[in-house]
Each structure stands twice: as structure tokens, then as C-alpha cells.
Amino acid sequence: MEVGYNKLNITPTEPVHIAGYNRKKLSEGVLDPIEINTLVLKVKNNLVIFSILDSIIIEDSVILPVKQAIFEQFGISFEQIVIGCIHTHSAPAYFKPFFENVYIDPDLQKNLIHSFIKSISTALNSMNKATLSLKTTQIEGLYGNRNTKDGLADKSINVITFMNSHSKKEICSFIQMSCHPTILNGNNFKLSADLLGWIRQKYQSKTHIPCMIVNGFCGDVSTRFYRKLKGDEELERVSSAIIEQMNELNLVDTYQSVLKCTSFEKEYIYNGQIDDFVQSEIPHLKGTIKFSTNEMEKMMSQQLLHNLEFKASKGEMVLNLYSHIIKLGNILFISLPGDITATLGKRIVDHFSHYKVIILGYCENYSNYFVCNEDYGKYFETYISRLSKGNADDFIDHVIIAADDLLK
């Protein structure tokens, strides 16, 4: 196996708009670096690329020109390139989230395209023979299901460390976990990669190994029920506690003799004007707003009503959902294009119980929330989903079928 890696600091030097929480003010300084991290894996003649941005979302306006440039320079197909983000809500506004009205600076996006190309090219030009080790542990008492405290949540942290076969020096660590990086709220105006960025920095400082991090299936997972402090004090508390629990990482048996990949793509049409849930819930929320004597309930209902009416105002929308499926020996990487709730992620992990499954959420063109049939309409995630009931289940089922075909 050969491995290439690059870490690129792309923190803006001037104030910029921030994507997340619909902020209206420009950024006011930097709490921690904004990065692109790129990992290249090659076994024999098969190669895949993971390039991950510190951003709330990622979209085709950047993905497609980056992949086209890499194809023209290196002959690497679109299917072999996974481009994603970590979902921090305190990074520059490279893209406009569906429910926000933030200004997108075209120069910022143009520079981002060049930065992705630079990071991927640099990683491709730094390939070395390598081995890997995979370790995992469970994190307790710091994050979990954000709708019901005892609800389902993936609390595993997986760490893949790549070592240069000749020098025996570590090339990089690849961390995967599943938690909303939303410790910082809308009152924060400093640029930050939030929780995942702080874990990345602390693990790198502790091990002296360059580190990248990806987010998994955390659509309904956050630190909500476990918070004790606020802002950077809470970031310090939670990230330090996670790093401490990572002292107990357990080695997983792996082999890397085969690398192969495939992808699955399917189009879904969403129209809030004819969506059964939207059309039945709007009058219900209006009634709550009119008659409720609970101010908190009225305020929440107004926000939910705004989301539903906004979705309905957009009419018919076409969502093109894309997933990468990558087998590296007995490790199975699966990318998904949005906020994947814990139930759907677990469905994939359980199906491939003979593999170590690494799910990468927030990859390719971001498509908001994926909510399973049994939870559809119960919680906040449905109100900001652009998939009709049953669509998320259908897509996940097709991804599982595509992965089964790859593994035959």
C-alpha cells in the first residue's frame, strides 16, 4: 500500500461571512485554524482520495471543478475522489446553507477550488509505501442523541494511523467520530472548526502525528444534554475529556491487500407544496402559535413553521444523492451526502458486521437531513429535511445493495 497526505491551512486573513446560525455580522478573529486535509490511498493500481474541508456543507459548485481538474492533471476518475466537510457551524461561508441567507463571496469560493486542487495534488505527489493500524474506543458522558438522552447514538471513535514502511515514521492519523460540532453557537464570531477541529489539534499535539478528522452519522447526535460550560471553555472541557478517553484505544485486526471502489447515485424529487407532512403540520403549528400560552412552545413553533413554509415556497426540488463505497481489505468506507441520523447509520454498520465500517457524512453535494421512516415527523430533523418520508430509507437500502455488490 502507498499513502499520500497533505494538511493545508486556508484560514482567511480578513473578516468573512460565516455559514451557520444565519449570522449577519462578519467574523471577528480566529479561534483555531480552518483546514483542508487530504489522504490518498493506493493498492497496486487502485487509488482513492479523501479530501475534507472545515465547513458546514460542501456543494457541487466546488466539488465538480476540483474533480475535473484532478482528472485532467492525473487521470483520476470522479468516482475515486471523495470530497467532504466536517460540518462546523463557525467556518467561512463557502456555500449558502438551504435555510440561511448568508452572502457567498465568489472570490472565496474560487480560492477554495484552487486550495482543494493544491492539497490533493500535493498529497498525490507525496506517496510513500505504508502500513496502517486501526484502533477504536467508545466515548461516554460527553455527547449522545440530541432528541432523547438515552436514544441511539454512535459514540465510537476510530483512529487509522498510517506509517511510512521505510522510515517507520507516522504519515498521518485519520480520525472518524459522529457528533455535531456545534458547541459554539450563533453568538460566536470567531472562525473555528469547533469540536472536531479541537480534537484534531489536541490529538496531533499529543501524538506528534499530523491528523485529519471526518464526521460520521451524527444527524441527531450532539453535546446538547451534556453541556456544562459555554464557548471555548466548553470546547476545551469536552475535547480534552475525549482525548483522555482516547488513551484507551483498542487495536482492531486489519488487512489491506485489496482496494476497490464503486459508487451509487439516485435522484429524488421533493415538493413541499404537496408533501403530506408539510401540509398537515403547517395548520397544526399555526394553531399552536395562536392558542398556546407557553412562550417557549410558541417560539419553537414559529421557527418550525418558518422552515416548513420556506420549503413549500421552493416548489419542486431535485436532489441528486451520491455515495462512495470503498473497500480497503476488511475496512469499508461509505460516504453519505448529508446529516445521517443514528438509526440509518447503524443500519449500514449492522449489515456489514464482518467489516470495520467507517461512515463519512457530509460528503459530496450536501442534501440536508436523512430521517428514517419510524422517526419521520417526530423531531426537529424532519422540519429541515428535503426528503419525503421513505426516501432516506430507500437511499440507504440502495447504498447497502451497491456495497454488497462490491464485496461479492
Condensed to tens digits (0 to 9), the pLDDT of residues 119-134 reads 999 999 999 999 999 9
* Residue 103 scores a pLDDT above 90: yes
User: pTM to 2 decimals?
Assistant: 0.97
58 within 8 A of 364, measured Cβ to Cβ: yes
Average pLDDT, the chain: 98
The one-letter amino acid code at 70 reads: I
Task: Report the percentage of the chain scoring pLDDT > 70.
Answer: 100
The one-letter amino acid code at 83 reads: I
* Residue 363 scores a pLDDT above 90: yes
Query: In angstroms, what CA-CA distances link 63 with 37, 95, 144, 375?
Result: 15, 12, 31, 31
Residue 381's pLDDT is 98
* Residue 53 scores a pLDDT above 90: yes
* Residue 154 scores a pLDDT above 90: yes
**Per-residue cell: 337:** 451526502
The H or E element spanning position 307 is helix 295-313
Q: If we measure between CA atoms, which residue out of 181, 191, 189, 187 comes closest to residue 11?
A: 191
Alpha-carbon Rg of the chain, whole angstroms?
21
Residue owning grid cell 455580522 = 25
**Per-residue cell: 146:** 440530541
pLDDT band for 256, please (50, 70, 90 cuts). Answer: confident
| β-bridge mates for residue 173, sequence order | 161, 211
Cα angle 281-287-291, degrees, rounded to a multiple of 5: 150
Give me the mean pLDDT over the 151-162 stretch.
98
**Per-residue cell: 66:** 476540483
Residue 309's pLDDT is 98
Q: How many helices (H) and strands (E) does the chain have?
A: 9, 19
Give me the mean pLDDT over the 55-66 stretch.
98
pLDDT band for 56, please (50, 70, 90 cuts). Answer: very high
The one-letter amino acid code at 32 reads: D
pLDDT band for 331, please (50, 70, 90 cuts). Answer: very high
* Residue 258 scores a pLDDT above 90: yes
pLDDT digits (tens, 9 = 90+) for 287-324: 999 999 999 999 999 999 999 999 999 999 999 999 99
Sign of the CA dihedral 373, 60, 95, 82?
A: positive
* Residue 332 scores a pLDDT above 90: yes
Residue 278's pLDDT is 98
Query: In angstroms, what CA-CA distances link 166 with 5, 6, 123, 130?
Result: 16, 19, 18, 8
pLDDT band for 285, please (50, 70, 90 cuts). Answer: very high
End-to-end C-alpha distance for the chain, whole angstroms:
22
Residue 49's pLDDT is 98
Cα angle 7-69-170, degrees, rounded to a multiple of 5: 25
